[in-house]
């Protein structure tokens, strides 16, 4: 499920990341549509909708028969996978007072950008809780389907939707995408409220067209079976930008396929990073091809609720915002839900100023002109920083901005063993480096010790390389003769995933590689105000391997309190909620001590994106207690 604004709270033991109940009767099934249809009939289930663009089908079970239906469908020959219909909620609880001034537009320099261009009628899909199409400050900018004749009861453009003149309601399957919950209309106003009409406010892209797609029940829940058809519809109907102000702790394979489809059709998806004050990736913002947005306040400081980390791309205002109201007039708004449409609107403005631009060009202009924000103790809480509309527009229309200086934020192994022809694959492994500015490295090379690794593929914010597993020496990344970064080599021939990101109390800006090797360089976390020592870690791209184990090497400042180690359980057995599982408990060692926890080859702690979430909590410790983490990794046991 996706969420609209519940905070992450830890008590004496970690709580579920979010209450994300799955749909009680729906499943997402990947495989041949006819096979799924026949199997569903035999199970007295029905096919709700086929999604041929990505090879998935939405199936509805009988009430109370969801788990048996899922289990039986998964055994049907030809069926690739069967997933629950994950749920989300919008990322905002509307409780901010009405602000009479649009400070947030000036903060991203939208007003200066308008001196150059106000854009043109490109389409921005606001996929949310619906849209008040009659709002006096939005009506003139509401998208109109040119192929549909209003109210004739026909599917004039043969797209599968009858009378979809201004969009569609995917939650209730009709053409009235009304905004009962009241979240989508404020987002739409920030994107593209009408400018120079003598009333109300303006949007960042004042000439863009708003495709209002309702993918949310009126109670505030967004299910994958609503969202995914909305993505496909928007991409097929010509949207250039998605504005997605919702998030979930659960990755969805079907959603990822739909997002890939949209990107393949020239869409730039923009998503809220989430309001949980954590570096744990949330989706859809966590996908590499989605532009994720953190929130800042009026002082351009990270909003206390905003998620952060190397997976978060840019930042925009998310507190004390003014926006159009679902019932008319104007309302206070906030959260990363409010930050997201600032960036979606900016993308719409850029596409409008240069309609021939590609999504990659628009994204590069936004990211490369953003202003880096380095805020102790979090460090760079978004990869590129605060968006700058004026500079982004200039970069797109004139000379592209130079790439940001290359920075390595995380390194993780992909688990793939790809060797040169005729060589034992067990001697080679593929790793991925995350960060920014890699496209500016014209002479990129990776060394392990004195041996150069083979580059396989690269993007703006990542690249993959193949290297030998038995070579000693740290991994160094170079641009010609210039050293970019040096990362400790975790260890020899076993498949290893070091900690990719961490959240620690003492200094959240500490580099993750302090916890890669047994070298005495530590990630440090001190006791918080409630008396608990906490450390959260994320492992990326983990694939199930035989004899997998979590390995921790750490010490504590004081021999007091109880240490508990938790992993997040993604197993369907925890339906409808994920949960933290305590995998180790013991006293706090004052000398460096290594603890291993066996995970098994079919671990419930690995999500479909290969993410593993870990939490260490120490309770009952005396004042001055703290953890010093020397190394932390998931590995194949010796």
Mean predicted confidence (pLDDT) in 112-128: 94
Share of the chain above pLDDT 70, in %: 90
Share the mean pLDDT of the chain.
87
Q: Which of 205-219, 354-368, 369-383, 570-584 has the lowest mean pLDDT?
A: 570-584
Residue 380 confidence (pLDDT) = 85
Cβ 418 vs Cβ 428: under 8 Å: yes
Examine the residue annotation and report whether 342 is marked as an active-site residue of this protein.
no
Model confidence, pTM? 0.87
Which domains does the chain show, CATH number per domain? 26-84 (3.30.70.80), 90-397 (3.40.50.200), 407-487 (2.60.40.10), 496-636 (2.60.120.260)
Q: Give 422's contacts (C-beta < 8 A, 6+ positions apart).
A: none
What does the alpha-carbon distance between residue 334 and residue 318 come to, in Å, rounded to a whole number? 5
Examine the residue annotation and report whether 337 is marked as an active-site residue of this protein.
yes
Mean predicted confidence (pLDDT) in 150-159: 95
Residue 7 confidence (pLDDT) = 23
- From residue 179, alpha-carbon distances to 143, 171, 496 in Å are 16, 12, 48
Using alpha carbons, select from 125, 241, 134 the residue that is nearest to residue 179.
134
Mean predicted confidence (pLDDT) in 379-395: 93
Residue 602 confidence (pLDDT) = 67
Mean predicted confidence (pLDDT) in 585-608: 87
User: pLDDT band at 413, cuts 50/70/90?
Assistant: confident
Over 90: is that where the pLDDT of 15 sits?
A: no
Q: Residue 244: helix, strand or coil by DSSP?
A: strand
Over 90: is that where the pLDDT of 539 sits?
A: no
Residue 374 confidence (pLDDT) = 85
Summarize pLDDT for 65-117 with one digit per residue, the tens. Answer: 998 999 999 999 999 999 989 877 665 333 333 434 677 998 999 988 998 99
CA 561 to chain centre: 35
Annotated catalytic residue, options 104, 135, 183, 467: 183
Strand order in the sheet with 241-244: 209-214, 123-128, 241-244, 268-272, 291-296, 314-317, 385-386
Higher-pLDDT residue of 415 and 562 is: 562
Residue 101 confidence (pLDDT) = 61
Residue with tokens 């500490």: 510
Annotated catalytic residue, options 61, 337, 382, 502: 337
Residue 20 confidence (pLDDT) = 56
Give the DSSP letter of residue 438: G
157-166, 216-225, 378-387: which is most confident = 157-166
Residue 343 confidence (pLDDT) = 98
Using alpha carbons, select from 51, 8, 14 the residue that is nearest to residue 29.
51
Mean predicted confidence (pLDDT) in 504-522: 73
Residue 366 confidence (pLDDT) = 98
- State the DSSP string of 292-340: EEEEE-TTS-B-TT---STT--EEEE-SSEEEE-TTSSEEEE-SHHHHH
Annotated catalytic residue, options 85, 128, 169, 313: 128
Over 50: is that where the pLDDT of 513 sits?
A: yes
Residue ranges of E strands in 334-443 = 374-375, 379-380, 385-386, 407-413, 428-436
Burial bucket for residue 286 (CB in 10 Å: 0-12, 13-18, 19+): buried
Residue 431 confidence (pLDDT) = 86
Share of the chain above pLDDT 90, in %: 59
Residue 379 confidence (pLDDT) = 77
**Paired tokens of 305:** 């609720």
What does the alpha-carbon distance between residue 165 and residue 619 come to, in Å, rounded to a whole number? 58
Residue 4 confidence (pLDDT) = 47
Residue 515 confidence (pLDDT) = 83
Mean predicted confidence (pLDDT) in 2-24: 44
Over 90: is that where the pLDDT of 450 sits?
A: no
Residue 98 confidence (pLDDT) = 40
Mean predicted confidence (pLDDT) in 613-620: 91
**Paired tokens of 109:** 């320099």
Over 80: is that where the pLDDT of 403 sits?
A: yes
What does the alpha-carbon distance between residue 361 and residue 350 come to, in Å, rounded to a whole number? 10
Residue 168 confidence (pLDDT) = 98
Burial bucket for residue 116 (CB in 10 Å: 0-12, 13-18, 19+): middle
Summarize pLDDT for 299-317 with one digit per residue, the tens. Answer: 999 999 999 888 899 999 9
CA 84 to chain centre: 19
Examine the residue annotation and report whether 368 is marked as an active-site residue of this protein.
no
């Amino acid at each position: 499920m996706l969420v609209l604004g519940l905070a992450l709270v830890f008590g004496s033991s970690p709580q579920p990341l979010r209450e994300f109940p799955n749909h009680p009767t729906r499943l997402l099934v990947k495989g041949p549509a006819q096979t799924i249809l026949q199997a569903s009939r035999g199970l007295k289930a029905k096919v709700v909708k086929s999604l041929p663009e990505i090879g998935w089908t939405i199936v509805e079970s009988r009430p109370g028969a969801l788990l048996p239906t899922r289990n039986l469908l998964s055994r049907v020959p030809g069926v690739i996978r069967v997933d629950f219909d994950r749920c989300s909620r919008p990322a905002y609880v509307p409780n901010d007072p009405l602000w009479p001034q649009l400070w947030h537009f000036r903060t991203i320099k939208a007003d200066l950008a308008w001196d150059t261009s106000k854009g043109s009628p490109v389409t921005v899909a606001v996929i949310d809780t619906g849209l008040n199409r009659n709002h006096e400050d939005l009506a003139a900018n509401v998208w109109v389907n040119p192929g549909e004749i209003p109210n004739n009861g026909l599917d004039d453009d043969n797209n599968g939707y009858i009378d979809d003149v201004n969009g569609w309601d995917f939650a209730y399957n009709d053409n009235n995408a009304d905004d009962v919950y009241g979240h989508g209309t404020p987002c739409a106003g920030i994107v593209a409220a009408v400018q120079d009409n003598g009333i109300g406010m303006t949007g960042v892209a004042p000439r863009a067209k708003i495709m209002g797609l309702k993918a949310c029940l009126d109670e505030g829940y967004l299910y994958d079976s609503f969202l995914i058809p909305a993505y496909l519809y928007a991409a097929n109907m010509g949207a250039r930008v998605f504005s997605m102000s919702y998030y979930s702790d659960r990755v969805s394979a079907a959603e990822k396929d739909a997002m890939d489809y949209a990107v393949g059709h020239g869409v730039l998806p923009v998503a809220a990073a989430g309001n949980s004050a954590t570096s744990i990736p949330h989706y859809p913002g966590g996908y590499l091809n989605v532009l994720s947005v953190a929130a800042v306040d009026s002082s351009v400081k990270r909003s206390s609720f905003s998620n952060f980390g190397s997976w978060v791309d840019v930042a925009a205002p998310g507190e004390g915002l003014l926006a159009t109201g679902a019932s008319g007039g104007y309302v206070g708004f906030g959260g990363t839900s409010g930050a997201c449409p600032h960036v979606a609107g900016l993308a719409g403005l850029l596409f409008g100023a240069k309609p021939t631009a590609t999504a990659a060009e628009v994204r590069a202009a936004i990211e490369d002109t953003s202003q880096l924000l380095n805020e102790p103790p979090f460090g760079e809480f978004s990869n590129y920083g605060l968006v700058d509309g004026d500079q982004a527009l200039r970069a797109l229309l004139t000379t592209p901005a130079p790439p940001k200086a290359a920075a390595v934020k995380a390194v993780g192994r992909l688990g793939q063993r790809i060797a040169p022809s005729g060589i034992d694959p067990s001697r080679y492994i593929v790793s991925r480096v995350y960060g920014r500015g890699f496209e500016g490295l014209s002479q990129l090379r990776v060394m392990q010790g004195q041996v150069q690794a083979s580059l396989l593929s690269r993007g703006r914010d990542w690249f993959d390389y193949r290297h030998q597993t038995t070579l000693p020496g740290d991994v160094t990344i170079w641009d010609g003769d210039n050293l970019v970064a040096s990362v400790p080599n975790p260890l020899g021939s076993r498949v290893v995933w070091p900690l990719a990101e961490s959240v620690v109390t003492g200094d959240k800006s500490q580099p993750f590689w302090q916890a890669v090797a047994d070298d005495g360089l530590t990630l440090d976390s001190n006791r918080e105000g409630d008396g608990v020592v906490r450390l959260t870690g994320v492992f990326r791209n983990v694939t199930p391997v035989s004899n997998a184990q979590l390995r921790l090497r750490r010490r504590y400042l004081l021999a007091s309190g109880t240490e508990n180690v938790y992993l997040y359980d993604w197993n369907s057995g925890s339906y409808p909620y994920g949960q933290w599982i305590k995998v180790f408990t013991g006293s706090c060692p004052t000398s460096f001590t290594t603890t291993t926890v066996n995970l098994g080859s079919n671990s419930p702690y690995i999500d479909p994106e290969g993410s593993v979430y870990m939490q260490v909590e120490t309770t009952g410790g005396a004042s001055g207690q703290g953890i010093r983490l020397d190394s932390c990794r998931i590995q194949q046991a010796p």
